[in-house]
Amino acid sequence: MMEIEEASQTLEKTVDRISRVYIGNETVVRKTLAAALVNGNVLFEDYPGLGKTLLAKAFGKTLGLNYTRVQFTLPTGLWLSRSTLSRA
């Protein structure tokens, strides 16, 4: 069984590896790692282009986890098509 000091060092190395790819808020990295350790779920919400997908991919690769992206934004073309059809 892993000792506390060894586990702490392993977790710090993991945070360091992820933080090399995701240059941002280290608190988010630590909280996401905590969720992964307890088999939890994480929902990243923020403005576009701030690295949410990059962070998720970095976690998946570093921890050997499966990565699945769920996007709720409708494609603009689909929205415009529906608007155009309802006017006809």
CA distance 64 to 19: 16
Report percent pLDDT > 90 for the chain: 52
Q: Under a CB-based contact definition with an 8 Å cutoff, are residues 14 and 6 in contact?
A: no
Query: How far is residue 25's CA from residue 14's CA, in Å, rounded to a whole number?
Result: 15
**68 — pLDDT class (breaks 50, 70, 90):** confident
Residue 37 reports pLDDT greater than 60: yes
Say what the pTM is. Answer: 0.71
As a whole number of angstroms, the distance between CA 35 and CA 47 comes to 22
